[in-house]
């Protein structure tokens, strides 16, 4: 009976001990008000027991037990202890350091442009993982990392992304407690920041799926045109409709569609992956509004040659130098009047683009991920 009474007030003891000095004063008032009746009961029970040697020993065992419980609570939840639950916490600063090392690797090369780093590829990996989400069926999204498996890894839209997964594998091996799905999203967030982009909130807790049987299906009632956006639906109006169909299914409106398209300002297309070729901007490793400026200020014509030979790839656009490219799904952003107004906004206002880009990428990366509920009394 005494032990039960003592354990009943253990959470209050932990709460008091976990508080900062200033908070302790507040919690001491709370403890006195809330726990006083319990303390009085314990005192009433303990006093008679303690009057005999045998009872005193029992009381000592009970008090030792409650002290251990309180101490355990202190150790688990104490800031700086390195443990936030019964499991060891992930040192995300250390994971970040490894991602930054990967970003700074001078041996990384890209066949489409000079001075490359893996940042754009890491962003594409996270984008295509999260972009499978369907709000109607609550399937797909950033949790699961099902792109590790067939059939998803073999989707045409994911060409080349096995390479991105392989780049992150050494980091996964160094931090085995980190899920693949958390690592993909976190690496993209770090890459965006390292490339001069906005800070994006990261909430861990994604769980990996076990096999390809859990891959989101490519076709279905609510996603008959695929899970990810295509580059060309055959005409400007069909391409615009396709973009809205895919992105609306994820939960994005026109403004968010145009803001997310700003990710095309990073990296490049490759003939051995998507079949297209070239970077969208002359700063493909810097997050900026250059993508929108190029769309509006440059002259875009259908590509017919490549390095002195006839172009045999899919239809794409190029600037007068032939160095830069745009996909039909890019050009449609200035052909469709509703999309165009946001292109014009971002082209003239970098700060608004950065703000919107950070918000919409954060929203994208959280699709299909529900943050784990906090466990314990005061965790």
Active site residues per annotation: 128, 280
* CA 147 – CA 161 distance, rounded (Å): 9
Question: Which of 77, 203, 72, 200 lies closest to 143 in space, CA to CA?
Answer: 203
d(CA 117, CA 106): 8
Closest Cα to residue 206, out of 367, 378, 376, 95? Answer: 367
CA-to-CA distance for 115 and 113, rounded, in angstroms?
7
Burial class (CB in 10 A: 0-12, 13-18, 19+), 11: middle
Give the integer Cα–Cα distance in Å for 128 and 71: 45
Residue 201 neighbours by CB distance under 10 Å: 10
Residue 305 is inside which H or E element, if any? strand 305-306
Phi and psi (nearest 5°) for 369? -120, 120
User: DSSP state, 112?
Assistant: T
């Amino acid at each position: 009976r005494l032990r039960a009474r003592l354990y009943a007030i253990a959470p209050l003891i932990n709460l008091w001990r976990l508080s900062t000095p200033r908070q302790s004063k507040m919690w001491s008032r709370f403890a006195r008000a809330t726990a006083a009746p319990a303390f009085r009961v314990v005192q009433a029970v303990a006093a008679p027991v303690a009057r005999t040697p045998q009872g005193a020993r029992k009381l000592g065992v009970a008090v030792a037990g409650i002290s251990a419980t309180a101490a355990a609570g202190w150790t688990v939840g104490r800031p700086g202890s390195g443990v936030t639950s019964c499991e060891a916490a992930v040192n995300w600063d250390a994971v970040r350091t490894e991602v930054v090392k990967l970003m700074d690797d001078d041996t990384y090369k890209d066949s489409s442009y000079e001075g490359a780093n893996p940042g754009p590829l890491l962003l594409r990996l996270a984008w295509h993982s999260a972009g499978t989400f369907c709000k109607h069926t609550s399937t797909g999204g950033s949790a699961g990392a099902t792109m590790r498996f067939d059939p998803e890894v073999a989707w045409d839209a994911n060409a080349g992304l096995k390479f991105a997964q392989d780049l992150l594998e050494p980091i996964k091996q160094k931090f085995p407690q980190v899920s693949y799905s958390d690592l993909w999203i976190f690496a993209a967030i770090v890459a965006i920041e390292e490339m001069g982009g906005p800070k994006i909130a990261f909430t861990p807790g994604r769980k990996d799926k076990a096999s390809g049987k859990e891959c989101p299906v490519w076709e279905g009632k609510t996603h008959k045109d695929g899970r990810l956006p295509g580059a060309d639906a055959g005409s400007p109006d069909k391409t615009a409709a396709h973009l809205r169909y895919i992105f609306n299914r994820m939960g994005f409106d026109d403004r968010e569609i145009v803001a997310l398209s700003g990710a095309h300002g990073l990296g490049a297309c490759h003939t051995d992956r998507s079949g297209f070729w070239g970077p969208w901007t002359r700063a493909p490793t810097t997050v900026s509004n250059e993508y929108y400026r190029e769309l509006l200020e440059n002259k875009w014509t259908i590509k017919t040659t490549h390095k002195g030979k006839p172009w045999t790839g899919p239809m794409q656009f190029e600037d007068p130098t032939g160095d830069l490219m745009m996909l039909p799904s890019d050009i449609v952003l200035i052909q469709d009047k509703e999309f165009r107004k946001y292109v014009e906004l971002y082209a003239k206002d970098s700060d608004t683009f950065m703000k919107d880009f950070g918000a919409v990428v954060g929203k994208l990366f959280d699709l299909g991920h529900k943050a784990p509920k906090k466990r314990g009394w005061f965790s």
